[in-house]
């Protein structure tokens, strides 16, 4: 193996480029027009344009044209696509991963479950979608060909099953081209614990211990850690032994992850196997000292894995996924122009963006992963929380401040966060949007005062010092993005991180970013984007269905239609009881953010 084409983008493409360089291999990036100036394109030794990251023929042709003799799929996109793996192999190239046959077998949750049963791996009770017993609820509906939480819905009573099946099938068909569904027992309060496994072409299979990925919102992971905390020795051994047995059952080669649910009563249940590298692989690398990507390259070249007893874990690692999303608006993905990025230099950061750039709705909203390590769990959490307090993506809303809140919560410290916790009432205090404080306003004013009064003598100090007189502090009125006006006073400093541009200030407070501009007219009225009657698009997307017409009477919460954005279905609901005035959407229509889709005139009191 001499040259590796990386069939992915963003932070994982950069990660593989780095591993290739360290292994003495040439790296080849691919990119769409949207990504022509992306970091992974500039860091690779060569780059080839493709019409889509999902275009199998174009990606294989790019590998041939660039002289690559191997393909690394990263994760997402085509990484678990058996057809892509087969096309790579048929083209005479080395596929860095398990065989197409194993990907096909384990990539489907129904077939993987059958393999698990043969390997004596514990599983949950399964039901036929059209014959779920009345006493079986709650159940979990999930796409057989799915992953990443797509096509997955919890159903708590029989009346909700039909809608869940229809929605999951539609999501599965859209995301995976296969609407086959499974219905299984739902484990209440379960923790998501997984085991990293690795196999080589000589029949060896090892594990690299456990990870806990229970902190999830809508089945999407937010925080991961290794090793998984609060497990009895016998549980840990059963998880690791089961994962290795499952991998051996299918003669697994390469990196893989076996996922389980750990119930509150200690029972273990197999979820699925991911036949690729995981997003959260860095926490395993940090506690074992193993470079998993280089292991992938070595195993694909025929290397033999070390024996199990030579693999040890020390310390604790925690990883935060940084998403372009608004946690205080239902975790809606965000898009826009990034003006500046701040990452903590002392922590491990795997990022898709390090400076000015565009965040598009075309791809997954994850921008980076930040990883902290400590001698124990408490130290690792504290280190990560400190790093997040000094991180910021300016120009696009992210979840940084929210994740910091989560890390410092009593529940996370107590290992009391299960897979549904962030979607329940217990997490609501974390999801209350922070309020703009006087300290933030003062920090912005102070930064501007320092900029406009650069004199380093006492006479130019922005704290108002005057010779022989009472201090007269510098004050200024600034405007928030909603048009609200705030008057602040320059101070000696409150430790908040502040950055300036020609329009105003960015202030970072505990991971939350605030924007305060210099108003053109301090008497200008507060800006209003829409009326209370308007139901607008929370982000750019495609209208999937419209359920009402002008003149229809609706009640608060009734679904008016559905918008698809970033592979998520967003329900558009009536804000109050009333009559539909206008319908500004058609099925299949592409709409921009803030587009008025419906108006609902409130009923007269």
pLDDT for the residue 567: 61
Q: Considering the domain 3-96 in this protein, what is its CATH number? A: 3.40.50.20
pLDDT per residue as tens digits for the range 535-545: 988 777 889 99
Name residue 601's beta-bridge partners.
Answer: 579
pLDDT per residue as tens digits for the range 100-140: 999 999 988 899 999 999 999 999 999 999 999 999 999 99
Residue 503 has pLDDT above 90, yes or no: no
pLDDT for the residue 83: 96
pLDDT for the residue 218: 86
Fold of 125-185: Dna Ligase; domain 1 (3.30.1490)
User: Model-level pTM?
Assistant: 0.83
Q: Which helix (H) or strand (E) holds 89?
A: helix 82-90
Q: How many whole angstroms separate alpha carbon 80 and alpha carbon 99? A: 10
Residue 291 has pLDDT above 70, yes or no: yes
Contact 153, 167 (CB under 8 A): yes
Which is more confidently placed, 538 or 218? 218
pLDDT per residue as tens digits for the range 23-59: 999 999 999 999 999 999 999 999 999 999 999 999 9
Give the number of other Cβ atoms within 10 Å of residue 413's Cβ: 13
Distance of CA 486 to the CA centre of its chain: 34
Per-residue confidence band for 466, with pLDDT thresholds at 50, 70 and 90 = very low
Residue 454 has pLDDT above 60, yes or no: no
Q: How many whole angstroms separate alpha carbon 459 and alpha carbon 457? A: 5
pLDDT for the residue 352: 95
pLDDT per residue as tens digits for the range 157-192: 999 999 999 999 999 998 888 999 999 999 999 999
Per-residue confidence band for 377, with pLDDT thresholds at 50, 70 and 90 = very high
pLDDT for the residue 351: 97
Contact 104, 82 (CB under 8 A): yes
Question: Dihedral (C-alpha) 515, 520, 525, 530: value to the nearest 10 degrees?
Answer: -60
Q: Considering the domain 534-602 in this protein, what is its CATH number? A: 2.40.50.100
Average of per-residue pLDDT values in the chain? 91
Q: Where are the domains of the chain?
A: 3-96, 125-185, 191-431, 438-517, 534-602
Same fold, 191-431 and 534-602: no
pLDDT for the residue 528: 33
Per-residue confidence band for 520, with pLDDT thresholds at 50, 70 and 90 = low
Q: Considering the domain 191-431 in this protein, what is its CATH number? A: 3.30.470.20
Residues in the chain: 605
**pLDDT above 70 coverage of the chain, percent:** 93
Residue 87 has pLDDT above 70, yes or no: yes
Give how far Cα 204 sits from Cα of 102, 256, 311, Å: 16, 13, 14
**Region of poorest pLDDT, from 11-15, 406-410, 514-518:** 514-518
Terminal C-alpha separation, the chain: 75
Q: State mean pLDDT over 387-411.
A: 97
- The structure tokens listed for 583 are 């319908």
Q: State mean pLDDT over 500-527.
A: 77
Q: How many whole angstroms separate alpha carbon 117 and alpha carbon 270? A: 9
């Amino acid at each position: 193996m001499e040259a590796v084409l990386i069939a992915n983008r963003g932070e994982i493409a950069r990660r593989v480029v780095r591993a290739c360089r360290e292994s003495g291999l040439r790296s080849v990036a691919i990119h769409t027009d949207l990504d022509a100036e992306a970091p992974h394109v500039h860091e690779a030794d060569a780059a080839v344009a493709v019409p889509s990251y999902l275009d199998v023929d174009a990606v294989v042709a790019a590998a041939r044209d660039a002289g690559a003799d191997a393909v690394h799929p990263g994760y997402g996109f085509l990484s678990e696509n058996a057809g892509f793996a087969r096309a790579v192999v048929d083209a005479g190239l080395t596929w860095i991963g398990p065989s197409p046959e194993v990907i096909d077998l384990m990539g489907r949750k129904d077939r993987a479950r059958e393999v698990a049963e043969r390997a004596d791996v514990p599983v949950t009770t399964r039901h036929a979608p059209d014959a779920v017993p009345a006493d079986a609820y709650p159940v979990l509906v999930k796409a057989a060909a799915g992953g990443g939480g797509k096509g997955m819905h919890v159903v708590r009573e029989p009346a909700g099953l039909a809608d869940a099946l229809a929605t999951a099938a539609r999501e599965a068909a859209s995301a995976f081209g296969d609407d086959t569904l499974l219905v299984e027992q739902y484990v209440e309060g379960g923790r998501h614990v997984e085991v990293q496994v690795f196999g080589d072409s000589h029949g060896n299979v090892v594990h690299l211990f456990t990870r806990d990925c229970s902190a999830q919102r809508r089945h999407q992971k937010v925080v991961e850690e290794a090793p998984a905390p609060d497990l009895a020795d016998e549980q840990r051994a059963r998880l690791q032994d089961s994962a290795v047995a499952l991998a051996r059952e299918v003669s697994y080669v390469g990196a893989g992850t076996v996922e389980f649910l750990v119930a509150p009563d200690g029972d273990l249940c197999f979820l699925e196997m991911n036949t690729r590298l995981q997003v959260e692989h860095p926490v395993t690398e940090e506690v074992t000292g193993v470079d998993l990507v280089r292991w992938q390259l070595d195993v694909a070249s025929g290397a033999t894995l070390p024996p199990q007893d030579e693999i040890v874990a020390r310390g604790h690692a925690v990883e935060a996924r940084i998403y372009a999303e608004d946690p205080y608006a239902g975790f809606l993905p965000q898009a826009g122009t990034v003006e500046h990025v701040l990452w903590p230099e002392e922590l491990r950061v795997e990022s898709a963006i390090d400076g000015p750039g565009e965040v598009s709705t075309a791809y997954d909203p994850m921008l980076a992963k930040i990883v902290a390590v400590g001698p124990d769990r408490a130290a690792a959490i504290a280190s990560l929380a400190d790093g997040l307090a000094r991180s910021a993506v300016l120009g696009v809303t992210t979840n940084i401040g929210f994740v910091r809140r989560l890390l410092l919560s009593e529940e996370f410290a107590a290992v009391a966060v299960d897979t549904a916790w962030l979607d329940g009432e217990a997490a609501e205090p974390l999801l209350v949007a922070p309020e703009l404080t006087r300290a933030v306003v003062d920090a912005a004013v102070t930064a501007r005062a320092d900029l406009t009064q650069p004199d380093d003598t006492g006479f130019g100090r922005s704290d108002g010092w005057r010779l022989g007189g009472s201090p007269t502090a510098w004050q200024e009125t600034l405007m928030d993005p909603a048009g609200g006006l705030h008057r602040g006073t320059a101070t000696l400093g409150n430790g908040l991180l502040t950055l300036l541009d020609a329009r105003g200030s960015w202030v970072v407070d505990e991971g939350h970013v605030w924007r305060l501009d210099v108003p053109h007219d301090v008497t200008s009225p507060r800006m209003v984007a829409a009326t209370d009657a308007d139901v607008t698009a929370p982000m750019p997307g495609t209208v999937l269905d419209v359920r009402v017409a002008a003149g229809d009477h609706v009640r608060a919460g009734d679904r008016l239609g559905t918008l698809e954005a970033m592979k998520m279905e967003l329900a558009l609901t009536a804000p109050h009881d009333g009559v539909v005035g206008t319908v500004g959407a058609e099925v299949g229509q592409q709409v921009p953010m803030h587009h008025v889709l419906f108006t609902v005139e409130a009923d007269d009191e």
